[in-house]
Structure 1
Amino acid sequence: MMTTPTPEPSPDDVARGLAEFERHLAEQVPTLPEALPVESGGETKRVQRLRAEVAEAHQLAALQGDDAPLLLDTAKVRKRRKQAREAARLHELGQDPAMRAWQAARMRRLLVAVAMVSLTLALAWSTAGVQAFAAEDAPAWSPAWMFAWLVEPFMSMALLFVVGARAYLATRGQPIISRTLVRIEGLFLALTFGMNVWPYLPWSLPQGETFKVSGVVLHILGPTIAVAIVLALPIVLSAFAALDHSQGGGGLTGLTYSANAHDPVRAPGPDVARLIDRARTLIAAGELPELPSAYRLQRALRCGMDDARVVRDALVKEAT
């Protein structure tokens, strides 16, 4: 058997084999980690970061024992302190006589507006009832039927004229004390009340209709409210006019006080006659109105409110 001789490798084959062997060894040996960078002084960045953290901890430990930050007011505390100071100043301002007078005037205007609106609506409510009474059996849209709508408005305007005059003068501390005006108000209210209720009473109902209490109540609602307002408004306004705004708001006081007087309060006694004579002299001289209020008398005579009321009642009795 004959053997074929192996060809001798060339120099290029040898160089190629060595290159492949080196590449194989490079792939098998693991890559060594790169050395950490070294800064000047022989410390790595990691060492420097840890050193800075330790230095910061020492500084924080030294400052943590200082209570100065705890003494500072937070935003919430400053807000509450501002609100408390504002409330205290508002309370102090509320005790000022000028502020108390302004508050009373504002409340008086509000009450008068509410009362007049309520009175107007009450009279308007009764307009339909009065129209039914005044029109009787007149055909709709006939002259009699249309003129019946004017009965309640012109009575209401006359009533509002009297009430408005009494209310305004009461706000000025000079309430009108006149039985004639009281009778006029009573007449208007009685006419309105009667004309509203009469068609719904049992003897006024058409034959075949049953009497209903609800119908009567609904039609007396307007006149009843009007009567209440007409009677109450002058009394309320007179009380506002007699307010003493120099009195403190610390609590209720009795009927006898002398905030505007320089002498002590005294109970009604024999000297009331002298006060009545003094009041007559001031009225004759034009320093007091013909029928002054108790508040005006107290200011002019410098007496207690009880004495001023006695003098006022005596003057009213003499005038009537």
Structure 2
Amino acid sequence: MSITTPTPEPSPEDVARGLAEIERYVADRAPNLPVVEPAMPASAPGPVETENEDGETRRVRQLRAEVAEARLLLDLQEDDAPLLLDTPRVRRRRRAAHEAARLHELEQDPTMRAWQASRMRRILVVGAMASLALALGWSTAGVQEFAADGAPAWSPAWVFAWFVEPFVSLALLVVVGARAYLATRGRPLDDPKLMRIEWLFLLMSLGMNAWPYLPWSLADGEAFSIADLVMHLIGPVVAVTVVTALPIILAGFTSLDHGRRYGGTGAAYRANATGRYPSEYNAGPDVDALAARVRRLIEIGELPAEPGIHKIRKVLGCGTDTARDVAKVVRTGGAETGGAA
């Protein structure tokens, strides 16, 4: 049986010596371990009011900033400068008004007015010639029926009957085209022989279209129909209308004065255009050439021996001032050096 000796209780000096040995051991084994600071106790939730050097808190500074901003806004609201600025809609409207004014000014320019007249004249001539060609083409079927005279289909007589109207139409188009072109150059072609030839072609086309549908040309038992007659007369009637109206329209374009404005300010406007358009708007018409043409018309009996200003203006398609100068040259038998302005 063994006897256990009780361990003596360490003294405070022994405990302090042991702790010092443990701290020395840890310091030697882990010299680079970070030092852990003791945790701070958690603070109560809510904003922390901090004071600056003057003793003002954050709420005071925030309210001071709001007051300063309000005063600046009051000062700026009294300035009407933003109200004077043009909005995008106002700028678009001003741009449109400015463009309209420039276009109106451009339309009063003699060069622009001459270009507009030339463009419109070209459109009218093209439309009239196209209408004339279609009208003559429409009458081709009626003329073919007249020329075939009941020949069997695709027989030589039936086939050659289709070429009768083109013969007449091409000759007519030559005459009308020449008159239209010369009228655009201020030289209307009014020779009586040429006009008689023109009407001869038109009457031939009209008669060949209408003859098979007249009452005395219908077969026994066939009723007369005004609708058939009118349908076959449309082409020749349109052709007659175009041939008659086109030279008159072109003569009206030739007599236009592009140097004048509306409202009776022509003289002033032409004077302003003198420097800008000297060669085109200040030369004036050739009065001597027009007077020679009037003398030829007097010789062939188209005008009386002493034609008036109105008749000269109508036959030449010119203005009243030009017709007055031409009448003076024709009466005196001399030459006009200046020409009408």
Please indicate, yes or no, whether the TM-score normalized by the shorter chain is above 0.5. yes
Q: Is the 8 A contact 2:260 2:270 kept in 1?
A: no
Q: Which runs of 5+ in 2 are unaligned?
A: 1-42, 272-286, 298-311, 332-341
Matched, 1:35 2:52: no
Give the stretch that moved more between structures: 56-65 or 176-185: 56-65
Tell me how far apart the structure 2 counterparts of residues 79 and 174 of structure 1 sit (CA, whole Å).
49
Shift of 1:57: 2.5
Q: Is the 8 A contact 2:136 2:239 kept in 1?
A: yes
Matches within 5 A, 1:82-231: 82-231=95-244
Shift of 1:222: 0.8
Q: Is the 8 A contact 1:122 1:222 kept in 2?
A: yes
Q: 1:51 to 1:145 in 2, by over 3 A?
A: farther
Which residue in 1 is equivalent to 2:260? Answer: 247
Tell me how far apart the structure 1 counterparts of residues 268 and 150 of structure 2 sit (CA, whole Å).
64
For 1:118, the aligned partner's letter is S
Tell me how far apart the structure 2 counterparts of residues 153 and 312 of structure 1 sit (CA, whole Å).
45
Q: 1:298 to 1:176 in 2, by over 3 A?
A: closer
SS of residue paired to 2:47: coil
Give the stretch that moved more between structures: 201-210 or 226-235: 201-210
Shift of 1:86: 1.6
Tell me how far apart the structure 1 counterparts of residues 268 and 80 of structure 2 sit (CA, whole Å).
57
Q: 1:178 to 1:116 in 2, by over 3 A?
A: same
Structure of greater Rg: 2
For 2:46, the aligned partner's letter is A
* Equivalent of residue 84 in structure 2, options 62, 68, 71: 71
Q: 1:311 to 1:236 in 2, by over 3 A?
A: farther
Aligned length: 257
Matched, 1:238 2:251: yes
Tell me how far apart the structure 2 counterparts of residues 109 and 177 of structure 1 sit (CA, whole Å).
21
Q: Deviations over 1:63-110 (max 9, x none)?
A: 111001111112222222222222112111111111111111000000
Shift of 1:139: 0.7
Q: Is the 8 A contact 2:214 2:224 kept in 1?
A: yes
Shift of 1:35: 1.4
- Identity over aligned pairs, percent: 55
For 1:74, the aligned partner's letter is T
Tell me how far apart the structure 1 counterparts of residues 114 and 50 of structure 2 sit (CA, whole Å).
83
Shift of 1:289: 11
Tell me how far apart the structure 1 counterparts of residues 208 and 118 of structure 2 sit (CA, whole Å).
38
Shift of 1:306: 4.6
Which residue in 1 is equivalent to 2:30? Answer: none
For 2:232, the aligned partner's letter is H
SS of residue paired to 1:38: coil
For 1:232, the aligned partner's letter is A
Q: 1:304 to 1:166 in 2, by over 3 A?
A: same
Tell me how far apart the structure 1 counterparts of residues 117 and 206 of structure 2 sit (CA, whole Å).
34
SS of residue paired to 1:66: coil
Per the normalisation by structure 2, the TM-score is: 0.66
Q: Is the 8 A contact 2:291 2:327 kept in 1?
A: no
Q: 1:312 to 1:119 in 2, by over 3 A?
A: farther
Q: Which runs of 5+ in 1 are unaligned?
A: 1-31, 262-277, 315-320
For 2:49, the aligned partner's letter is V
Tell me how far apart the structure 1 counterparts of residues 268 and 174 of structure 2 sit (CA, whole Å).
36
Q: Is the 8 A contact 1:122 1:221 kept in 2?
A: yes
Shift of 1:53: 3.8
Q: Is the 8 A contact 1:283 1:290 kept in 2?
A: yes
Matched, 1:307 2:320: no
Q: Is the 8 A contact 1:294 1:308 kept in 2?
A: no
Q: Is the 8 A contact 1:133 1:196 kept in 2?
A: yes
Backbone CA RMSD of aligned residues: 3.7
